[in-house]
Amino acid sequence: MKHKGRKLLGVVLTLLLILNLATAAGAYVDPSGVELWMIAGQIMEEDKVVTVDLPDEVDIAFAFDLTGSMSYIIDTAKDNADDLMDELDGWGGPLGVDFDYGVISYMDYVGTFSSCGYSNTYGYDDDYPYRLDQAITSNNAWVEDAIDDLELGSGGDGPQDYTRIFYESYADPNIMWRSSADKILLNFGDNVPHDCNLNEGVPGKVGTYSTGVDPGRNGFIGGGDDLDLQPVLHTMATEGIKLLESHTTFSHSEYWEYWTGITGGDVFITTGGSAWLDDVSMAIKKSIAWVDDLHFEVHPCFSEYEDWLVYTDYYSGWVEEPVEMMIELGVPPCTPAGENFFVLIAVDGDGMVYGEQEVTIYVEPTPIAIDIKPGSYPNSINLKNKGVIPVAILGSEIFDVMMVDLETVMFACAEPAPMDPEYEDVNMDGYLDLVLHFYTQEVCIDPGDTEAALTGGTMCGYCFIGIDSVRTVPNK
């Protein structure tokens, strides 16, 4: 049965891709599979450990909006860039995470543009839409110098050419991302991008919100390389570039939460000054080693087993160490005996999958209490007798004898004799019992046997079994 589960898991991993479930590289659940033997209605706790392997390399490209409104943030970045890189390097070193950095700057396209019902001056003569000031490097001094050399421009209207910066993050080979590194574009901005409809895809937004087309590299609209925000963000995600967006206010935060979320990133607020270093370093660390609402779910391919996961822990916090979690699995009442296979996934609040676990549950017949020849002990059975053997199925808090399907009951291979069933409390415990009779000459009890079993099913489909002692006469 185990091999069957492994084959199914191969199918499941393929379906993870088909269903577009994002998976965290290197993350896994321990143990990778469990086999449980349970009965209908039973609930069992299971301990899990979720391990997230942190990346060996992280490349961060700092992108700075140099329009006039950003002067305070730019000054703060110049004062704190060296300390920020030292902080990240000091944190990453013991965890085996190696950081490299680069610098990008921009203002906006020079000129007045009209498109999509929007017309305004994007930027002025000394502005530029994109510049790579420092390729990704391990030399922090070069990065600090590039930031120190940044100079403010003007900028025209409020929206900026952020889409161009996002595009260049994967289109410009001179950025020199390391091939095996996790890639982060950290953009310091304060407005929204140019786009024909910023509302596209944003939850709760309707209608059209136009800030005009981003003209692309050739700098004029309709030249064949105009940029559309949504496809650009999705390409960033495909290329493994995570967008972190730093703003000084919550203006348009609902938009940026959606846009950064497409790439697996986030937006955060920093007010500059002394808080800037802590705000930025924390945002970067959390993008690498933090999880929100990590929990277990039944894999969508096995949705018929959703109610078998009765409880799951939720965890929000650092994942620098393996995360211990607990779940409860329960077999629904009326589940028939047999093998059941499904897959659990560890997933966070954003839908990122951190590993899978095979679950095989063998549902066994529910054990019940029976009393052979109620009121007598030992339960002597004369195998030469031509009469019947009374057997009581004892009711309890968890077993209602009124649910017994009489056509399924067998006692030692024999079906009930054609006699009316008797419903009474034979053991005086306050629960109704069921007494059935079986022909002695039909039971499969041999001389010397010391116990006999009664089996059956309920009207809702699950099986039960009860065993009681016997004393055979003659006994050999």
State the SS3 of the chain.
CHHHHHHHHHHHHHHHHHCCCCECCCCEEECCEEEEEEECCCEEEEEEEEECCCCCEEEEEEEEECCHHHHHHHHHHHHHHHHHHHHHHHHHHHHCCEEEEEEEEECCCCEEEEECCEEEEEECCCCCCCEEEEEEECCHHHHHHHHHCCCCCCCCCCCECHHHHHHHHHHCHHHCCCCCCEEEEEEECCCCECCCCCCCCCCCCCCCCCCCCECCCCCCCCCCCCECHHHHHHHHHHCCEEEEEEECCCCCHHHHHHHHHHCCCEEEECCCCCHHHHHHHHHHHHHHHEEEEEEEEECHHHHHHHHHEEEECCEEEECCCCEEEEEEEECCCCCCCEEEEEEEEEECCCCCEEEEEEEEEEEECEEEEEEECCCCCCCEEECCCCCEEEEEEECCCCCCHHHEEEEEEEECCECCCCCCCEEECCCCCCCCEEEEEEEHHHCCCCCCCCEEEEEEEECCCCEEEEEEECEEECCC
For residues 63-86, give the mean pLDDT: 94
The predicted pLDDT at position 19 comes to: 57
What does pLDDT average to over the chain?
Answer: 93
The predicted pLDDT at position 350 comes to: 86
Summarised one tens digit per residue, pLDDT across range 391-448 is 999 999 888 999 999 999 999 999 999 999 999 999 999 999 999 999 999 999 999 9
The predicted pLDDT at position 12 comes to: 52
Confidence of residue 17 (pLDDT cuts 50, 70, 90): very low
Q: Which one, of 311, 282, 307, lies nearest residue 296 by Cα?
A: 311
Confidence of residue 365 (pLDDT cuts 50, 70, 90): confident
For residues 290-298, give the mean pLDDT: 96
The predicted pLDDT at position 5 comes to: 41
Q: For 266-270, which contacts have Cβ atoms below 8 Å and span 24 or more sequence positions?
A: 268/244, 270/73, 270/246
The predicted pLDDT at position 16 comes to: 52
The predicted pLDDT at position 476 comes to: 59
pLDDT at 462 over 90: no
Q: Tell me what percent of the residues of the chain surpass a pLDDT of 90.
A: 84
For residues 116-136, give the mean pLDDT: 96
For residues 330-342, give the mean pLDDT: 89
Confidence of residue 161 (pLDDT cuts 50, 70, 90): very high
For residues 306-331, give the mean pLDDT: 97
The predicted pLDDT at position 2 comes to: 36
For residues 102-110, give the mean pLDDT: 97
Summarised one tens digit per residue, pLDDT across range 226-285 is 999 999 999 999 999 999 999 988 889 999 999 999 999 999 999 777 899 999 999 999
Summarised one tens digit per residue, pLDDT across range 30-60 is 999 999 999 888 899 999 999 999 999 999 9
The predicted pLDDT at position 6 comes to: 41
- pTM for this structure? 0.76
pLDDT at 449 over 60: yes
Confidence of residue 24 (pLDDT cuts 50, 70, 90): confident
pLDDT at 14 over 60: no
For residues 455-471, give the mean pLDDT: 90
